[in-house]
Structure 1
Amino acid sequence: MYNFKEFLRKLNEHSGVSFKLVSEDGTVWFDSTINIDRQNLIKKEIWLGNQTANLLLNKDFEICASLLKYSIESKYNEIFSIREQVIIDMLEGRGVSTEALYSALPFLHNKCTLFLIAVDKNIYDSLNIIKQLYNSEEVISMIYKEYIVVLGNFEDEMEHAISMREAILSDLYTKCYVSYSSFEGGAVELKKSFDDSLTCIFIGKKYDLKNLIFDEESLLLEKIVYNVNDHVKHEVCEKFKDKFIKFDSEIITTIEEFINNGLNISEAAKKLYIHRNTLIYRLDKILKDTGYDIRDFKQASIFIIAFLMWKERRI
């Protein structure tokens, strides 16, 4: 019921009509026209969700084209709306049987990755861009609340996250956050993956992090700092506020890039588009103003924690 390709096979078998279905990006969903002369095929445009596809069939069965088109479009929408509803049910804690879960989402048998995308505007246009990137029944992309959820089997998750973000930015020029979390299992694990990704976006926004692609590992320090009790945060901020308040936007950007590049002077200088000596001068200024040399790992650790707490209060 849930497998679109299986539906196409049965449609061909029961109707006796040979046809070929090709998506706009060239993906062949089904083809039983191998032994038919290409010159005897006619082409009809159909819609698979928000995307067009071409339906090719023998001229002798042209009278069946409209019914075939309606059957394929209806089943596609039915199948994929059911899959989305199963995901929503899992995310909202409603019971989903194991049979229904794996029938709708067979790829959950393997390691999956959930990507969560937050955009400032144009969420539906952003979803269409993602659907064009991943035009496959093995990948689900949908809107849930104010986020785009992308679910499937992915390798090199960071590369996919970068591709999604760049595709949205190049077309829509809107601020875009992407977080991701991998899991194996069913409803409980998927819900946890969603919650983890949501927390990453929240923390990324909370601390105004410049890297807008997040995962749990990359935000471990920020999560620890965020969960420190308010009394300790207040004490730390009181100790450092007179030091940090002197920082202008240039120094703040310098600190963030130096931290993001693992306290590596050469790499940070490249990202800041400044000479290495200029960065050293700025680091010396931070040492003079705060008493902390963030080139030293131990001092940098204390400084970074305090800096994050200060940013949390400031934003």
Structure 2
Amino acid sequence: MQNLIEFFEKETNKKISIFEYSNQNLKSDQKVVNFNNKTYIIEMKDRFVFDNINGHFYLIHQQNLEFDNLKRVVYNLYEDIDIFEYNQYIILNSNDVLDIDCSTPGVIESETYSNTYIAYLGKINDMDIFNFRLSILDEILPLLNIDTSLSKFMTLHDLTMYKAISLIGKEKSFCNLIDFESIKNIDENLLHTGVSFIENDLNISKTSSSLFLHRNTLIYRLEKIKELLGLDLKSFKDSFVFYLSIKSHFTSKL
């Protein structure tokens, strides 16, 4: 049976699954066939083509991925793209940069009713580069349920940052420089406020709007962080140390 599956996959350039039919409802990508007096379902889905990789690549992740539904939504949003199912992701491949930003996951969520994360892997023409960037995204995925400050749209800069944080977190000598005991005793809402302030370019107004906080409440929280950790987040150096420390803290909880 496995040889037959491999033959069909090679001929159709689709991912093939074959299993016995037991009167279940069929999906759009499934067909019923009879073979050796038995009835089977053949399921065919588009799969990622590894040959001649080229173009701009976006990965979409949903916890309960429904490929057909998500594919329909994405095709309604964008033209001249190729879509593939690959492991736990949907891959979008385009010759040009797509109009995807921080608002796009929300648009898709309104159609699919599922939390959506999108990562831009950049323009790639080498499979090794694709696999390396994908591996970084694989490392980030477990953080999604912990680090609520993580944007649902990740750029190459985000992947670079999180890879650096991952490497730092594994370096014991660096960890000895961080007062993790104090961080563990701080309310996580306060930590997330500090992270959001940094990600909003140390801008009080932008952070207040993004967190739906009164300006005075935000200022109070920033002062509280300074009191507890001795870090003034309005200072670049202090905010840099805070950011690396808190992100490393979240990573260590995995």
| TM-score > 0.5, shorter chain as reference | yes
Alignment partners' CA distance in 2, 1:304 and 1:184: 30
Q: Which has the larger radius of gyration?
A: 1
1:91-240 to structure 2, matched below 5 A, reads 96=51, 101=52, 108=54, 112-124=55-67, 125-134=69-78, 138-155=80-97, 157=98, 159-162=99-102, 164-183=104-123, 185=125, 189-200=126-137, 202-203=139-140, 205-206=142-143, 208=147, 209-228=149-168, 229-236=170-177, 239-240=178-179
Q: Name 1:269's counterpart in structure 2.
A: 208
More helix by share: 1
Q: Name 1:55's counterpart in structure 2.
A: none
- Quote the RMSD (CA, aligned, Å): 2.8
- Give the aligned residue type for 1:275: H
Alignment partners' CA distance in 1, 2:167 and 2:189: 29
1:299 aligns with 2:238: yes
Alignment partners' CA distance in 2, 1:164 and 1:274: 24
**Aligned-pair identity (%):** 21
Q: Do 1:201 and 1:214's aligned partners in 2 also have CA atoms closer than 8 Å?
A: no
- Give the aligned residue type for 2:83: S
| Runs of 4+ residues deviating >3 angstroms | 161-164
Larger displacement relative to structure 2 (280-289 or 117-126): 117-126
Q: Gapped runs of 5+ residues in structure 1?
A: 1-48, 51-80, 91-95
Alignment partners' CA distance in 1, 2:190 and 2:201: 17
Match of 1:263, SS state, is coil
Q: CA separation of 1:163/1:309 partners in 2, compared to 1, >3 Å: closer, same or farther?
A: closer
Q: Could you report, residue by residue, the CA deviation over 1:218-251 in whole angstroms, capped at 9, with x for unpaired residues? A: 3433221211243135424xx4222212322321
Q: Do 2:57 and 2:120's aligned partners in 1 also have CA atoms closer than 8 Å?
A: yes
Alignment partners' CA distance in 1, 2:251 and 2:151: 16
2:185 to 246, 249, 263: 246
Say which structure, 1 or 2, has more relative contact order (CA 8 Å, 6+ apart). Answer: 2
Q: CA separation of 1:285/1:161 partners in 2, compared to 1, >3 Å: closer, same or farther?
A: closer
What is the CA-CA distance between 1:295 and the residue it aligns to?
A: 1.2
Alignment partners' CA distance in 2, 1:176 and 1:264: 27
Alignment partners' CA distance in 2, 1:151 and 1:118: 15
Q: Name 1:66's counterpart in structure 2.
A: none
Q: Name 2:3's counterpart in structure 1.
A: none
- Give the aligned residue type for 1:131: Y
Q: CA separation of 1:161/1:258 partners in 2, compared to 1, >3 Å: closer, same or farther?
A: closer
Q: Could you report, residue by residue, the CA deviation over 1:160-189 in whole angstroms, capped at 9, with x for unpaired residues? A: 25565234200222111111122254xxx2
Q: CA separation of 1:162/1:258 partners in 2, compared to 1, >3 Å: closer, same or farther?
A: closer
- Give the aligned residue type for 2:62: V
Q: CA separation of 1:128/1:232 partners in 2, compared to 1, >3 Å: closer, same or farther?
A: farther
Q: Gapped runs of 5+ residues in structure 2?
A: 1-27, 30-44
Alignment partners' CA distance in 1, 2:135 and 2:74: 19
Q: CA separation of 1:218/1:181 partners in 2, compared to 1, >3 Å: closer, same or farther?
A: same
Tell me the TM-score normalized by structure 1: 0.58
Match of 1:169, SS state, is helix
1:16-95 to structure 2, matched below 5 A, reads 87-88=48-49, 90=50
